[in-house]
Every structure is written in structure tokens, then in C-alpha cells.
Amino acid sequence: MAVKTFVQALNDALRIALRDDPRVFLIGEDIGKYGGIYRVTKDLLDEFGAERVLDTPISEAAIAGACVGAALLGCRPVLDLGFVDFIGTCWDQIQNQAAKYRYLSGGQASIPMVVRMAYGAGLGYGVHHSQSLEAWFAHTPGLKVVVPSTPADAKGLLLAAIADDDPVVFLEHKMLYNLEGEVPDTKYQEPFRAQIRRPGSDVTIVAWGRAVHWALEAAGAAGQEGIDCQVVDLRTLIPLDEDTVVSAVAQTGRLVVCHEACLTGGFGGEVVARVAERCFDVLRAPPLRVAAPDIPVPSSIPLEKVYLGPQARLLDAIRRSVQATGRAVPA
């Protein structure tokens, strides 16, 4: 397998989808000659032409509406919306049309479209270009929500999303675009299921997207203190792989959920609720959440680092989870 960046893996997936399925087309602002904001669509215009890689005016509502119509007519559009923060400008098309059409038609029609968006903070982009809004999408019946954390998953999950017959929100963290990893050169699809990134017996950490890497870092630090952490990468919020999460927590009896989005209403609360409903009797300590504070993302880079800064808080949560059962940990 070749070592590729997250961006290159996404580009591979789009190239394969365009090559193998004439129903697939890409649409968005600056995705053609410019190659997209993060160069995910680089060189695809030259290879597949302007009828398959469509540059559009700056109107997210018009683009999303066009995708819904095209999907109803048998196409499989992949919409590059740029930043997740722009979703509000076309939310009606996504939430009230794409997500609901299978239900409204009694299962006679669906909207096989993918909405790709960059999310998350870390680059000092300020309040309008740095949010993590995955809980919005997860709260909308009919949408699937995919959040890869590695280049290999980025390729395999994107190919699976394009092949899916329902609308898929595909979230890519800005700070992962340059992440490198081994990626198969072949065409493959990753299932919409969680994956155990690290085995462990003391504490289960559940995370997705960039937070998976925070979880792995914290697990390594906790290991130096004799705490064996298991890390579960959800990969998809909807469908939620409840069985993998519950099974993992049953092994450790402790749960810490980490995500970048704000605490209140964050998807971490849903994970905790599902675990409490299904395996409350095996919990040895209260489930804990590590998330961003309930404030807008600061524009100042130093303040943004404080806003994020989950590593110390996550390690502290791991320690508290263990201490809740009377186990001593190093001070």
C-alpha cells in the first residue's frame, strides 16, 4: 500500500467513482480549475471534463437544490460545500428535501447524494469557518453522517457514501487533510461501522474524526501511568454502531467520550445515553464527556488553542473514571 495524505485518499476515491460510474458528478464552488479549497478535486476537471466536475456560482442553496433534483433523476452527485459552517444557507434542501424524500415517497424514491464539508478548528479561521456541527445532522432522520479519521478510511468511506442510496453528510476535519497513512490502491468500501483503534481493559474512550487522534494520544499517556485504555473510532455517527460501543464498554466498565463540538447537545451525550440504556449494570464509574466549552470558536489562535486543548482534560477524565472505583493513580 502506498503512503498518502488524507487529501490524496479523497482524491483517489472521487477519481474511482467518476471513472466507474457515469451517474457520478462533482459540483461546488472552485472545485474545477482551482481544485477545491483544500485541493481535494485537483486535476479531476482535466481528466473528466466540465460536465462531470461542475464549478458553480456562489449559491449553496442553488447547488444543493440542483443535487436533490439530479439525484431524483438517477444521478449520484457529490456536493463540495466547502466549510460546514455554510450549511445554514442550504439547510432546507438538505433537511427537508434530501433527508425526507424516501419517507415522503413511501420508499419509492431516494436521494443518493453526498455532501462533503470541512469542519473543525485549529487554523485560526474564526467563528464562521471553524465549527463542528455533526450533531445537527445526526438529529435529522434520513441523513447518514460519516466522519473518517484516517486516510484509508477517508477513501473507503467516501466510496461507500457515494454508492449508498441515501443522502450522506461526509465530514472532513481540516487538521487531518495533511495526515499521512497507508492507503490501498484498489477500489474498496469501508462499512459504516465503528472500529477499535486500540485495545484496552481499564477505560473505553469513544471518539470520531480528529478526536480519535486525541484519544490515542491520551491513551498513550495514560498507559505510562498504568491505565490501559481502549479507543473506539465511531467512523459513522448515523448509523451508530451501538453494538461495538456497548461491547467495548462492557469489557472495561468505564466510558469517556471525546469530541470537538460544544458539550451541550453534542453527540457525546447520545453515546452516553445509549450505553446507559443498554449496559448500565456493567458500568463501574459514571460516563464522562470531554468537549469544547459552550462558546463560539475564538478567532485568536492562542485563545483557539485554549478552546480546543482537550489533551489535559481528556487525561484528567480518564484518571477520574479510574479513581471513581477507588483505584489510585499517580498524582
So which residues are the catalytic ones?
129
Asked if 235 and 146 count as a contact pair (C-beta separation under 8 A), the reply is: yes
Neighbours of 317 (CB within 10 A): 22
* CA–CA gap between residue 137 and residue 240 (Å, rounded): 13
CA 329 centroid distance within chain:
33
The length of the chain in residues reads: 331
Those residues whose C-beta lies under 8 Å from the C-beta of residue 62, and which sit 6 or more positions away, are 56
Asked if 258 and 214 count as a contact pair (C-beta separation under 8 A), the reply is: yes
Its sign, for the CA torsion 134, 12, 72, 29, is: positive
CB-side neighbour CA atoms (13 Å) of 327: 16
321-324 own/partner pairs: CB under 8 Å, 24+ apart:
321/203, 321/254, 321/255, 321/256, 321/285, 321/286, 321/288, 322/202, 322/203, 322/227, 322/254, 322/285, 324/254, 324/284, 324/285, 324/286
CB-side neighbour CA atoms (13 Å) of 71: 33
Give the closest residue to 208 by CA, choosing from 195, 189, 223. 195
* CA–CA gap between residue 248 and residue 229 (Å, rounded): 11
Task: Please name the residue that has the C-alpha cell 469517556.
Answer: 256
Q: Where are the alpha helices (DSSP H) in 84-228?
A: 91, 101-104, 134-138, 151-163, 211-223
Distances (CA, A) of 323 to 30, 262, 292: 52, 26, 23
